[in-house]
Amino acid sequence: MTIPNITLNNGVEMPQEGFGVYQIADYEDCKQAVKDALSVGYRAIDTAQAYHNEEAVGQAIAESEVDRQDIFITTKVWITNYGYEATKQSVLDSLDKLQTNYLDLVLLHQPYNDYYGAYRALEDLQAEGKLRAIGVSNFYADRYVDLVKFNRVVPQVNQLETHVFYQREEDNEYLKKYGTQIESWGPFAEGRNNFFDNETLQRIGDKYHKSVAQVALRFLTQKGVVIIPKSTHKERMQENLDIWDFELSSEDMQEIQSLDTKQSYFFDHEDPETVESITASTL
């Protein structure tokens, strides 16, 4: 089974499905999960400074039989490392932890603090060849457009909460307008809103002999979204990969589109209390 690639706005190719390691903080658990993911066929790994598991990811890749050049590694800079010099140094630290001399994609994790200085550091690191692609995460359309208008490099990726209940149609209109790829975090909404018992997804899944999770992932990929589902169970990793052998009909797609509630199931980045909470978090 071959995972298709998405071509980013600078010509870099990125697997449309990767493996996320959010909330796998234990070193051995994370290392084993990444090794398992690579063994079943994943070729993109998504981590972050704030996940505290870059070292485990790096060691798993080092111990894997898969060549580094065949693995697309993403990490994210946390807000306490924002500002031009701090961001540059933090990315160099991430390179050391991940045991690599380049990264395929680095994102700014949140749209707070000095993200302008941080982004310009990413631009320069990309120009130096240390980063193949750069982008942002959790940047709503207004801050995303602002960043595009006043920087040299249009972000290659914007990673946003994206799932069947929050499909980000308006955000994606602006991403498409300026040429940035949307990537989903939380493609299962972490089970919220009775995600895995949704009758529409179950009924459509029964038609194709697929699970609710597989239908939800397939929907996103047919919409052109990059996905990074997470699991520490090898059989579930494989299940999440087994979505490339069927295609949802246009009627199925329309039904699933009707599930969109147009609201977050986690937090609103424009809510002052959310801002207070996120900016209080340090590494």
What are the tens digits of pLDDT across the range 213-257? 999 999 999 999 999 999 999 999 999 999 999 999 999 999 999
Domain spans of the chain? 5-279
pLDDT > 90: percent of the chain:
98
Architecture of domain 5-279: Alpha-Beta Barrel (3.20)
| Nearest residue to 167 (alpha-carbon basis) of 211, 111, 223, 210 | 223
Question: Whole-prediction pTM value?
Answer: 0.97
What are the tens digits of pLDDT across the range 26-74? 999 999 999 999 999 999 999 999 999 999 999 999 999 999 999 999 9
| pLDDT value at residue 185 | 97
Q: Annotated binding residue at 109?
A: yes
- Contacting residues for 70 by C-beta, under 8 A, at least 6 apart: 43
- For 24, phi and psi rounded to 5 degrees? -110, 75
Question: Does residue 124 surpass a pLDDT of 90?
Answer: yes
* pLDDT band for position 165 (cuts 50, 70, 90): very high
Question: Does residue 1 surpass a pLDDT of 90?
Answer: no
What are the tens digits of pLDDT across the range 166-220? 999 999 999 999 999 999 999 999 999 999 999 999 999 999 999 999 999 999 9
**Cα–Cα distances in angstroms (integers) from residue 225 to residues 59, 115, 118, 157, 203, in the given order:** 29, 24, 25, 11, 23
Across 100-121, average pLDDT: 98
Residues that are catalytic: 51
* pLDDT band for position 150 (cuts 50, 70, 90): very high
Mean pLDDT (the chain, rounded)? 97
3-state helix/strand/coil string of the chain = CCCCEEECCCCCEEECECEECCCCCCHHHHHHHHHHHHHHCCCEEECCHHHCCHHHHHHHHHHCCCCHHHCEEEEEECHHHCCHHHHHHHHHHHHHHCCCCCECEEEECCCCCCHHHHHHHHHHHHHCCCECCEEEECCCHHHHHHHHHCCCCCCCEEEEECECCECCHHHHHHHHHHCCEEEEECCCHHHHHHHHHCHHHHHHHHHHCCCHHHHHHHHHHHCCCEECCCCCCHHHHHHHHCCCCCCCCHHHHHHHHCCCCCCCCCCCCCCHHHHHHHHCCCC
The terminus-to-terminus CA distance of the chain in angstroms comes to 38
| pLDDT value at residue 2 | 87
